[in-house]
Amino acid sequence: MRLSRTADLWWKNAVVYCLDPETYQDGNGDGCGDFRGLTQRLDHLERLGVTCVWLMPFYPTREVDDGYDITDFYGVDPRLGTLGDVVEFVRTARDRGIRVIIDLVVNHTSDHHPWFLDARSSRDSRYRDWYVWADEPPKDGPQGVTFPDKEKSLWTYDRKTRQYYFHRFYHQQPDLNITNPEVRDEIARIMGFWMELGIAGFRVDAVPFMLETTGQAEAARLPDPHDYLADLRSFLARRNGEAVLLGEVNLPYKDTMAFFGERGDQLTMCFDFIGMQRTYLSLARGDARPLARALRDRPVPPKDAHWATFVRNHDELTLDKLTDKQRQEVFAAFGPDEDMQVYGRGLRRRLPTMLNGDMAKIKMVYSLMFGLPGTPVLFYGEELGMGENLDQEGRLAVRTPMQWAPGERGGFSPADPRAFPAAFPAGDYGPDRVNAAAQRRDHDSLLNWITTLTERYREAPEIAWGEFTLLEAGDDAVLACRYDADGHTVVTVHNLGATEAEATLKLDGLGAECTLTDLLVDGSTDLAEDGALTLRLEPYACRWLRAVHPTEAPA
């Protein structure tokens, strides 16, 4: 494919890496990660093959929700650095060929944000209508508490002004009133500010909730919330034509498609939550069919839009779109203890601990993620096989400091570990056993495996750009995908089972004039005249095959 074309839409075959500056690297020795430390670790990300860093919130905060309760959308938490440090990080990342996107968390503010402090001072205050108020919680309003272990209602009574304010999340995070034109203008200013500092786009937090206006006065509702999302995308494009909106939309496929927009004029990418959840169901069963069914059901996004694929993210590993019975299957396989579960709908574990450290299976899962149609998104530490610390509360179990080196400080900071934002996992997943320094020198390490996957993924633009076909493999444990683009073909094959499998594929349009070159290991495979191919796959085996003329195959 033409590099000029793929470069224009860089996000379609990007490798996105999510991290929190607070837990990545301490640059000034105070025990807290910061931008100066993060900047010094950019070479690690470049070697890994990362092309886009997604920063979790780094704004000033009261730390009620690990940085998502923001008190200033235009600032930087003083513990993490200054605006100058952010600019230096963005500039240095760009020098390494890495774009930077940041969290856009405008569904709500902190209850200590100056806007809300003013809003609750009086019913006639300047910012009163920037939030959602009611004399009584409306009966037709939003339902369902997001964090049932912490909150009993979506409405909290404010004694001073004698009204209730709405909060989709914690009561310390009052929702902004998106129907207010002043709020919408302010959100655009926030985006414009950060783009002027070199930011290449935004991961938009809780998009359906951000656009939620039910339960408010009829006259105040937006005529069509998606029109507003399209306006945000238009503003983004005017300021920076290559910038992206990566949306957190955990809805069924049919409902998620609305957030792309019919013309692809809303979100640039949406996370594939359905595919992720079906992946874990397939892993629990050793059966590729649940994931295959999701891939068949998944609609094709509008032109130039894309799905984002992931194995793990910074929140709980939600399983809310599985049936109760399916969810219990996954719980039984990967989180049987109640302490491993959260909110009754998800897991607070990382992949290696869920798979009991089975490196063959772990490597296969990451090969599977990179080999699916979509943009792969890694969560920091996945490249090392980091584990979780269940002693941390709730979702914080997976947000432990990055493990750079052995020792009690893990190379994260020279400070006393008691000053760290969180404690490392213990035992087999502590820094002495899992760290970047050791894995960089180990040819068979997970770090080097994922580096290989990022390289091969970038060398196979067919996966991101090509026409996707799910192939019949003849074995329920095997998932086989075909990608065709500009006369080139790539096939990925994964055995999700614990026993040897035989995959029988039919590659129409290809024949004995083609050889399939293996992209992950040395070797090649010939095709029959009719395009038939039989592969014997070891347990958890993975193959990436490119169709080439025999004269082009490596010796």
Q: Which residue among 248, 287, 316, 382 is the active-site one?
A: 248
Spell out the residues 6+ positions from residue 50 whose beta carbon is closer than 8 angstroms to its own: 15, 16, 17, 98, 378, 454
**201, β-bridge pairs:** 244
Q: Rounded to 5 degrees, what angle do the CA atoms 40, 15, 31 make?
A: 30
Q: Rounded to 5 degrees, what angle do the CA atoms 14, 309, 280 make?
A: 150
Residue 30 among the catalytic residues? no
Q: Is 536 exposed, middle or buried (0-12, 13-18, 19+ CB in 10 A)?
A: exposed
Local structure of 28: helix, strand or coil: coil
Which has the closest alpha carbon to 456: 516, 520, 515, 517? 520
Which has the closest alpha carbon to 35: 99, 64, 78, 95? 78
CA 295 to the chain's CA centroid: 18
Q: Which residue among 66, 77, 111, 205 is the active-site one?
A: 205
Residue 205 among the catalytic residues? yes
Amino acid (1-letter code) at residue 451: T
Beta strands per DSSP E along 359-453:
375-379
Which has the closest alpha carbon to 377: 299, 303, 276? 276
What DSSP assignment string belongs to 439-486? HHT-TTSHHHHHHHHHHHHHH-THHHHSEEEEEP-SSTTEEEEEEEET
Q: Rounded to 5 degrees, what angle do the CA atoms 29, 31, 35 make?
A: 70
Local structure of 8: helix, strand or coil: helix
Is 241:275 a contact under the CB 8 Å cutoff? Answer: no
Helices (H) and strands (E) in the chain, counts: 17, 22
Residue 428 CB: number of other CB atoms within 10 A? 12
> Tokens standing for 127?
């910012």
Residue 361 Cα distances to 273, 474, 503, 515, angstroms: 21, 21, 18, 28
> Tokens standing for 63?
């730390």
- H/E element holding 526? strand 524-526
Which has the closest alpha carbon to 419: 19, 18, 20, 34? 34
Is 350:311 a contact under the CB 8 Å cutoff? Answer: no
Catalytic residues: 205, 248
